[in-house]
Amino acid sequence: MSKITYNRIKSVLAEKKKTNKDLADTLKIAPETVSSWCTNSAQPSIKKLFEIAVYLDVEAGDLLVSSKKA
């Protein structure tokens, strides 16, 4: 069974040329927490999702994977 991808944090970090550590330092959280979000083994709270969006200068919705089929 494949793992479900809920967020695009890892992709957006790469697009913005930022690292997990950059994000962790900005949010004052453990790099391991960011890593778990990037691997989709855990998800950020809604509040953190908006903080991540501000840091990456994107809309919060841009960090989520659409559940709609194209």
Other beta carbons less than 10 A from residue 49's beta carbon = 17
Looking at domain 9-62, which CATH architecture does it have?
Answer: Orthogonal Bundle (1.10)
Mark out the alpha helices in the chain (DSSP H runs). 9-15, 20-27, 31-38, 46-56
Separation of alpha carbons 16 and 66, rounded Å? 20
SS3 at position 64: strand
pLDDT digits (tens, 9 = 90+) for 25-66: 999 999 999 999 999 999 999 999 999 999 999 999 999 987
Does the reported pTM lie above 0.85? yes
Domain range list for the chain? 9-62
Is residue 2 scored above 70 in pLDDT?
A: no
